[in-house]
Amino acid sequence: MTPGTARWALPASLALLAVLALLPLAIPAFWTANILGRAIVYGIVAMSLTFLATYGGFVSLAQMMIAGTAGYAVAILVPGAVPSILGGVPYALAIPTGLLAATAMGLLVGLISVRTQGIYLLMITLSLGVGVHLFVQANIAWFNGYEGIRNVVGPEILGLPFRDTFVFYYTALATAALLYALVLYLVRTPFGLALQALRDNPRRVSALGYDAPLHRIAAFGVAGFIAGAGGILVTFYNIGISPGTIGLGATVNILVMSVIGGLGHPVGAFIGAVIFTLFDTFAADLYDRDRFNTLVGVVFLAIVLASPDGVLGMARRLRDALAPRPQGRADGIATSRAASAGPPASGNGA
Amino acid sequence: MTGSLALTVVLNGLTLAALYFLVACGFSLIFGLMRTVNMAHGSLYLIGAYVGYAVFEPLYDQDVWWAWYAGIAAGVAAAAVFGVAMQAVLLGWMQGQELRQALVTIGISIIVADQLLAVFGGTSRQFFAPDAIFGSTELPIAGRYPTFRLFQIGVAVMVGLALWLLLARTRLGLMIRAGVDDRAMLTALGVNVPLVSLAVFALGAGLAGLGGVIGATAQPVAQGVDARFLLTSLVVVIVGGMGSIPGTAIGAILVGVAEQVGQALFPTYSVILTFAIMAAVLALRPQGILGRPA
């Protein structure tokens, strides 16, 4: 992001939020719940990955599993779930517990992977994610195995059921907006700056006296919290949770969303989520109904090959091509920023 | 647990380890030379198993004795060809961009899994081993034990020895080892590194295909198995050390035996044991047991 766009980031974000808040009045309920709402809840999970990748250079494939940790924690605790594992804990208590569980899981993933970089980190987080998936699939006592836990309907908000399209949509939108603001705020704090320094030159940051491992683990904790919020909403959206929710396919979907949107700014996660959801919903009409995954794979491959920094990167290049070039203005900053905003692979080769 | 049961569990673990080794050493080899994390490695396993089966089935129906061997050859060849195509068309020209390569192979694995589902359907398939290695063998203490599983261990040992000979004693092995150490220098010496890369990809992918046919003889193959073997390859090379064949063997034995012992002692929690091993290795030796620091 060049300094020019930074000035517009806040007004643009607020305008986008306003559009998203007013849109349900104009579009059918199906679009509100199953396209926008769904894109937002999965986008939150994808944003936790985008946050780690953009500002820390950590491509973590454990984020859907961490989201599922929160979802499972809530499903285990709340009343009305089928089967009832513990049950009877009100949502007001279950949701914070779920967020706590996801944050703890995020910290744990960060701790386990703390000494690994780049592609190794990707492998380790992926195996942790798939490992937990296999574990919940095999374990009946706590997670009801393959079947998962159904009928997690969500709390009542202001006396309205969560299943109501608008209650669900506006809760998801408000959560996403808050977490988005949290990320943008956090990366300007000393913690966020240290994190970005860590991405660009870990040795130098350590030499300056920062506790690099601690910053890394904390970043994973923050990402865990974000993913957890997304995971709880995903669970309410699906009215339950099963191992498939956190399997390899789901993990890859989150990565696809983040990459399609672009690892470079948190908004990319939501752009990617909307594109993915549109595909998911309408691919059946475009191509063979059963071969949806082939289409997703081809589109993903095409984007990775053509524009590794996703739609955001495409937009940036398009703008650079169209805009008249300012003469000799802070070129050094612009190029170094452009380099670091590219795919994280450039900065953290093993 | 009685002595014979304990021995059977350990033997089960070793046979599983043999299969894991076959699949993971290809992954490790590819990673060692090209730093490519081949997320489609599980897909290569599936390609080997399914294509092998497509060749095996009609021959088996005609009662040809070499049906299974033809299946092996077809499976290995199909996986190797697919691996070479991947490297030649997509991965070769983005050498060094590790994350992008990983993403590309993820895209490939999505497409392959879906297309295999389209062609072969969702039903599981299983090879029938030829008579010579079918049935069971009498072992001391453990009692009767499936012959094919012992054969599986034999294949893994042979592949391990052959790989060691290839890497330590041949000109290609020399080039591969030099490439692992310093790729740029090897290029400067006039070696056609892209060609060596293709050979390594063929070898690694072919081994995944071999694992596919052997694995699908020991237990049925179905959709979703690719995820399991990708995961296993990842864990085995993380534990054993990336790019090291002896390390892969140690990793495979640790993971295979831990999985079987875990399943015997605490069935629904056994996965945790595997990951406890991985976490412990990462905490003490991030580069893996026999890995070298990156």
pLDDT per position as a tens digit, A87-144:
889 999 999 999 999 999 999 999 999 988 888 898 889 889 988 998 898 889 999 9
* CATH of region A3-346: 1.10.3470
**Domain ranges within chain A, ordered by starting residue:** 3-346
The per-residue pLDDT for A270 is 95
Mutate: best of B43, B99, B239, B255, partner A, most A CBs <10 A = B99
Q: Which residue has the tokens 């040809």?
A: B64
Return the biggest CA–CA distance within chain A.
67
Mean residue pLDDT across chain A: 86
Mutate: best of B91, B110, B112, B275, partner A, most A CBs <10 A = B110
pLDDT digits (tens, 9 = 90+) for B9-33: 999 999 999 999 999 999 999 988 7
* CATH number belonging to the domain at B3-284, selected among 1.10.3470, 3.10.310, 1.10.10, 2.60.120: 1.10.3470
pLDDT digits (tens, 9 = 90+) for A31-78: 898 999 999 999 999 999 999 999 999 999 999 999 999 999 999 999
Q: Which residue of B has its CA nearest to A292?
A: B114
Is 70 exceeded by the pLDDT of residue A335? no
pLDDT digits (tens, 9 = 90+) for B166-197: 998 999 999 988 888 888 899 999 999 899 99
Which tokens in the block code for residue A116? 């690994």
Identify residue B70 by its one-letter amino acid code. Answer: A
The pLDDT > 90 percentage for chain A reads: 53
The per-residue pLDDT for A1 is 45
Cis (ω within 30 of 0) for the bond into A83? yes
Residues 6+ apart with CB under 8 A from B100: A304, A308, A343, A345, B94
- Cα A103–chain centre separation: 14
Identify residue B102 by its one-letter amino acid code. Answer: A
Q: Is B277 on the interface with A (CB under 8 A)?
A: no
Please give the Cα distance from A16 to A34 (Å, whole number).
19
Q: Which of B107, B227, B238 sits opposite A297 (nearest CB)?
A: B107
Is 60 exceeded by the pLDDT of residue B294? no
All residues of chain A having their beta carbon less than 8 Å from the beta carbon of residue B92 are none
The per-residue pLDDT for A337 is 39
Residue A66 · residue A251 · CB < 8 Å: no
**Domain ranges within chain B, ordered by starting residue:** 3-284
3-state SS, one letter per residue, for B79-130: HHHHHHHHHHHHHHHHCCCHHHHHHHHHHHHHHHHHHHHHHHCCCCECCCCC
ipTM, two decimals, is: 0.84
CB–CB contact B100 A128 (8 Å):
no
Beta strand spans in B223-265 (E): none
10 Å CB burial of residue A89 (0-12, 13-18, 19+) is: middle
- Confidence band of A288 (pLDDT split at 50, 70, 90): low
**Chain B stretch 214-243, residues whose beta carbon is closer than 8 A to a beta carbon of chain A:** 227-228, 230-231, 234-235, 238, 242
Q: What is the mean pLDDT of residues B113-120?
A: 91
The per-residue pLDDT for A326 is 58
pLDDT digits (tens, 9 = 90+) for B210-239: 999 999 999 899 888 888 888 888 899 989
pLDDT digits (tens, 9 = 90+) for B24-73: 999 999 988 788 889 999 999 999 999 999 999 999 999 888 999 999 99
Q: Which of A59, A128, A301 sits opposite B107 (nearest CB)?
A: A301
